[in-house]
Amino acid sequence: MLLTNTSNVRKVIIAGAGPGDPELITVKLQHRLAESEVIICDRLVNPQIINKYAPASVTVIQVGKQGYNDASISQDAINELLVKHALLGHQVMRLKGGDVAFFSNVLDELFSLTANDIPFEIIPGITAAAGASAYAGIPLTARGFSQGVQWITFNPSANFHPEKWRFLATTSDTLVFYMASKALGSLAELLLRYMSNKKDVPVAVIEQATTPYQKVSIATLRTCEEKFANQSFASPSLVIVGEVVRLHEQFKWFEVLDSSGSVFNTLVKQ
């Protein structure tokens, strides 16, 4: 969509709202929320953030996209909303879960804004991997465990070249898989195929990280397909594979509740 009336255009704010805990946002985002007139909002943004920091008069447009859901709003429609409200002179915020640039469609949105001569500002946020690992007591890199980390998306229908999996099998980096929990069996099978000498590498699945509903499930590559065969993971979930996962039991600190209201992490959040 290409429009040309830019006489009333104001800068569009593209911001990351963090992984879930409403306190994990930047001071700059707080300020920009207070100025917002239209918020075009992702599904995974904690509504408490808008309720607390945005004006009561703000218009919130939910554009949540969801994996494996063909009914989700299209990226083209989101782009059109951004351009439309910016050209109407509204102070627009595009609010994304996590960070704005980790496995999001920010590039499409930037192309649409620049094609219409609409200025923008980008405010980074804490990405899901950083929030989930910190609240699970799993440092993504740690001396003696891992000197690097790789962020990867996984879709079993995608055409993954065998060379990619051979490379992952040889690295000692921590592997963080976004959008993989619904296909954990397929992921484990692929990793085992190429990491046959690393069957006991630990695996963590972290559900609804940094929220009161956070849950951490631990297995190994050898056991996770069987252990998680009948388990349905809540969205969003993140998968961490690597030796650093062994640190969870020692350093878990975040108090969370299970469905019955019982505490299942023993260390209390201060």
List active site positions. 42, 65
Phi and psi at residue 195, in whole multiples of 5°? -120, 45
Closest CA to 111 of 7, 9, 5, 14: 14
Residue 110 tokens read as 């930037």
Residue 258 tokens read as 């299970």
Residue where the block lists tokens 């703000």: 58
Cis peptide leading into residue 119 (ω within 30°) = no
Q: Which residues pair with 176 in a beta bridge?
A: 151, 240
Q: Measured between alpha carbons, how far is 206 from 218 in angstroms, rounded to an integer?
A: 9
Residues 221/188, Cβ–Cβ less than 8 Å: yes
Phi and psi at residue 94, in whole multiples of 5°? -100, 105
